[in-house]
């Protein structure tokens, strides 16, 4: 499990790789190589072609043209097993573990040697499976118990299992392995990210690493080289020491503007809050939570993992039970709160797990976008296809959704472009009163994040009250009119940003 000693032989080399889907050319003549011991960043906007390129490297797609060499040998991946056997392992943005199995069983499933190493006459060699997992875990600096069941682990520990699975792919490789990290920290808090990044730096001992992230500061910290993709092409290959975040941003999206901080809106004491929460509690999740959000204002809620803010957001949308306390909409108390009632009352919710709760992957983009609030595309119980397509097309143009194809199944879009459609689904409602956003920028590149933030601000300007669960403290301070800090299920601090100017350190000290 050490890098190849072959002088001058790259772990991976791509030459003129191309891939099209109908008229959409997703990857256009991509060429680059990565040497043993290198950690190389791969960045680009959602829809730039990164996901397609990674799927080619992992055998899920076959290129239309070009060649791939692994440790100096030309390879053709007909399926993911071929890629694994060649020593390529991947840690996906969304975890792909079997949560009902042990750590060791999950690692064994990705072994490049296949099932023969772990079975004899059809019987599993459990001692060998556990020992092999232990060796792999120790190699990446993890002290996890190979016999632990995955559903009993926290998110960071699960990511370590994903990394161990990826590293184990080199068991069948001739030479160095390639580990692909696809947004490995996208759902982690800052302190969790720091822990995981320390482990990521050790991966260069196993060969080479491709590190995909939308967080440019993260890319700058962890990578020696950075590959930039835009519109299916490789537009830059830079040494990290020779480039700045601002330059990377401009290379990715073609311009260097950034979203400006929100102008603060003070509360009119005579105005009734759009939503008011009084002593809200759910056993084991959050307790005695009280706050209010007025029309046109944004309240950002920050907190570490386990703070209760995610469960609170779901409860406000009727997706989780409320044990005690009250919620008032425009001054009127609501009872028997459920999702259908919330939707009819003008509340929208963008979940953190968009693929599971936010979209129907097999439906087209236009069907997803108009599913909850069809607007002019509905005439009583009947739908008007032409009107539905016009609504969807207008939103696609406004949000720069890529590819600009409303008839394509939404499950085939990149995560960031799916997020834009999920946002549009709620913004399309003329009765929108309260918009609850659970990590809306998760997995979005800077350009897409800029677009989504602009739409959030526009919704505020048009009168919606917004509750935002921010990815970062900087995002909370940039977007919010008010910031609430939650810890252990309770609101520990509240800041009116029209009157107060807390720093990220102030917020962090109250979170932990």
Residue 181, pLDDT above cutoff 90? no
pLDDT at 309: 94
Taking the C-alpha atoms of residue 214 and residue 193, their distance in angstroms, rounded to an integer, is 14
What residues have CB less than 8 Å from 403, skipping those under 6 apart?
Answer: 24, 47, 413
CB 368 within 8 A of CB 473: no
Taking the C-alpha atoms of residue 290 and residue 224, their distance in angstroms, rounded to an integer, is 47
Query: Structural domains in the chain?
Result: 12-253 (3.40.50.300), 275-511 (3.40.50.300)
DSSP assignment string, 127-185: HHHHHHHHHHHHHTT----TTSBGGGS-HHHHHHHHHHHHHHGGGG-SS-EEEEEESTT
Query: Would you mind telling me the total number of residues written for the chain in this entry?
Result: 512
- Cis check for the bond before 403: say yes or no (omega within 30 of 0): yes
Residue 171, pLDDT above cutoff 70? no
Exposure string for 72-108, b = 16+ CB within 10 A, e = fewer: eeebebeeeeebbbbbbbbbbbeeebeeeebbbbbbb
DSSP 274: S
Q: Containing H/E element for 384?
A: none
Taking the C-alpha atoms of residue 444 and residue 190, their distance in angstroms, rounded to an integer, is 17
Residues linked to residue 302 through DSSP beta bridges, in sequence order: 485
Tokens of 176: 């160095």
What are the φ/ψ torsions at residue 354 (nearest 5 degrees)? -65, -35
Identify the band that residue 113 occupies on the pLDDT scale cut at 50, 70 and 90. very low
pLDDT at 110: 66
Taking the C-alpha atoms of residue 42 and residue 215, their distance in angstroms, rounded to an integer, is 11
Residue 6, pLDDT above cutoff 50? no
Taking the C-alpha atoms of residue 193 and residue 190, their distance in angstroms, rounded to an integer, is 5
Q: What is the pLDDT of residues 224-264, one digit of tens each?
A: 999 999 889 999 999 999 999 888 888 887 755 444 445 56
CA distances from 45 to 93, 168, 220, 415 (A): 15, 30, 17, 11
Taking the C-alpha atoms of residue 367 and residue 389, their distance in angstroms, rounded to an integer, is 9
Taking the C-alpha atoms of residue 177 and residue 168, their distance in angstroms, rounded to an integer, is 9
Tokens of 83: 């890629």
Q: Using N-to-C axis directions, what is the helix angle for 190-202 and 155-168, rounded to 10°?
A: 20
Higher pLDDT, 309 or 155: 309
Tokens of 423: 């946002």
Taking the C-alpha atoms of residue 506 and residue 493, their distance in angstroms, rounded to an integer, is 10
Taking the C-alpha atoms of residue 202 and residue 301, their distance in angstroms, rounded to an integer, is 34
Tokens of 137: 């875990």
Taking the C-alpha atoms of residue 464 and residue 274, their distance in angstroms, rounded to an integer, is 8
Classify the C-alpha dihedral 484-474-454-305 as positive or negative.
negative
Task: Output the CA angle 268-270-276, nearest 5 degrees.
Answer: 80
Residues linked to residue 364 through DSSP beta bridges, in sequence order: 409
Residue 175, pLDDT above cutoff 60? no
CA distances from 230 to 49, 214, 249 (A): 7, 13, 11
Exposure string for 360-399, b = 16+ CB within 10 A, e = fewer: eeeebbbbbbbeebbeebeeeeeeeeebbbebbbebbeeb
Averaged pLDDT for residues 487-506: 90
pLDDT at 257: 46
Q: Among 396-400, 471-475, 490-494, which range has the highest average pLDDT?
A: 490-494
Taking the C-alpha atoms of residue 93 and residue 420, their distance in angstroms, rounded to an integer, is 18
Task: Give the least confident one: 45-59, 93-107, 414-428.
Answer: 93-107
Closest CA to 445 of 224, 248, 237: 248
Taking the C-alpha atoms of residue 56 and residue 234, their distance in angstroms, rounded to an integer, is 15
pLDDT at 188: 60
What residues have CB less than 8 Å from 60, skipping those under 6 apart?
Answer: 80
Q: What is the pLDDT of residues 330-376, one digit of tens each?
A: 999 988 889 999 999 999 999 987 778 889 989 999 999 998 888 77
What residues have CB less than 8 Å from 488, skipping those under 6 apart?
Answer: 306, 307, 308
Q: Is 340 exposed, middle or buried (0-12, 13-18, 19+ CB in 10 A)?
A: exposed
Identify the band that residue 70 occupies on the pLDDT scale cut at 50, 70 and 90. very high
Q: Among 105-109, 273-277, 333-337, 475-479, which range has the highest average pLDDT?
A: 273-277
Averaged pLDDT for residues 189-198: 68
Higher pLDDT, 485 or 448: 485
Residue 173, pLDDT above cutoff 70? no
pLDDT at 259: 41
Residue 401, pLDDT above cutoff 50? yes
């Amino acid at each position: 499990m050490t890098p190849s000693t072959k002088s001058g032989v790259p772990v991976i080399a791509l030459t003129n790789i191309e891939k099209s889907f109908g008229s959409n050319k997703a990857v256009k003549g991509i060429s680059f190589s990565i040497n043993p011991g290198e950690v190389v960043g791969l960045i680009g906007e959602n829809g730039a072609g990164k996901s397609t390129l990674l799927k080619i490297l992992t055998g899920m797609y076959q290129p239309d043209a070009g060649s791939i060499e692994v440790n100096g040998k030309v390879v053709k991946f007909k399926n993911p097993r071929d890629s694994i056997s060649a020593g390529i392992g991947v840690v996906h943005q969304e975890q792909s573990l079997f949560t009902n199995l042990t750590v060791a069983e999950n690692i064994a499933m990705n072994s490049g040697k296949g099932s023969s190493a772990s079975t004899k006459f059809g019987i599993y060699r459990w001692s060998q499976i556990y020992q092999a997992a232990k060796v792999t875990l120790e190699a990446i600096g993890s002290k996890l118990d190979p016999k632990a069941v995955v559903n009993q682990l926290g998110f960071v520990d699960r990511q370590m299992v994903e990394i161990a699975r990826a590293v184990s792919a080199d068991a069948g490789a001739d030479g160095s392995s390639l580990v692909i990290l696809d947004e490995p920290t996208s759902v982690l808090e800052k302190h969790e990210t720091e822990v995981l990044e320390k482990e990521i730096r050790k991966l260069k001992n196993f060969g080479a690493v491709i590190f995909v992230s939308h967080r440019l500061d993260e890319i700058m910290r962890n990578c020696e080289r950075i590959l930039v993709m835009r519109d299916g092409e490789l537009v830059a290959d830079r040494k990290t020491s020779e480039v700045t975040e601002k330059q990377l941003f401009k290379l990715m999206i073609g311009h260097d503007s950034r979203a400006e901080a929100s102008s603060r809106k003070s509360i009119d004491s005579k105005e009734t809050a759009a939503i008011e929460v009084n002593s809200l509690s759910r056993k084991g999740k959050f307790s005695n939570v009280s706050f209010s959000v007025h029309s046109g204002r944004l309240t950002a809620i920050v907190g570490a993992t386990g703070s209760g803010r995610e469960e609170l957001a779901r409860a406000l949308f009727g997706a989780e039970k409320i044990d005690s306390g009250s919620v008032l909409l425009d001054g009127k108390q609501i009872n028997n709160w459920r999702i259908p009632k919330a939707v009819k009352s003008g509340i929208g919710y963008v979940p953190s797990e968009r693929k599971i709760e936010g979209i129907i992957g097999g439906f087209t983009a236009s069907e997803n976008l108009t599913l909850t609030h069809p607007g002019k595309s509905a005439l009583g119980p009947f739908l008007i296809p032409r009107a539905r397509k016009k609504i969807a097309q207008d939103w696609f143009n406004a949000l720069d959704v890529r590819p600009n194809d409303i008839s394509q199944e939404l499950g085939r879009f990149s995560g960031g472009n799916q997020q834009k459609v999920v946002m549009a689904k709620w913004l399309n409602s003329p009765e929108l009163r309260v918009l609850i956003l659970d990590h809306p920028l998760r997995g979005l590149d800077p350009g897409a994040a800029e677009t989504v933030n602009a739409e959030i601000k526009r919704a505020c300007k048009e009168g919606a009250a917004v509750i935002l669960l921010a990815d970062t403290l900087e995002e909370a301070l940039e977007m919010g009119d008010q910031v609430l800090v939650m810890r252990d299920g309770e609101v520990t601090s509240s800041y009116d940003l029209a009157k107060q100017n807390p720093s990220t350190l102030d917020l962090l000290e109250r979170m932990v």
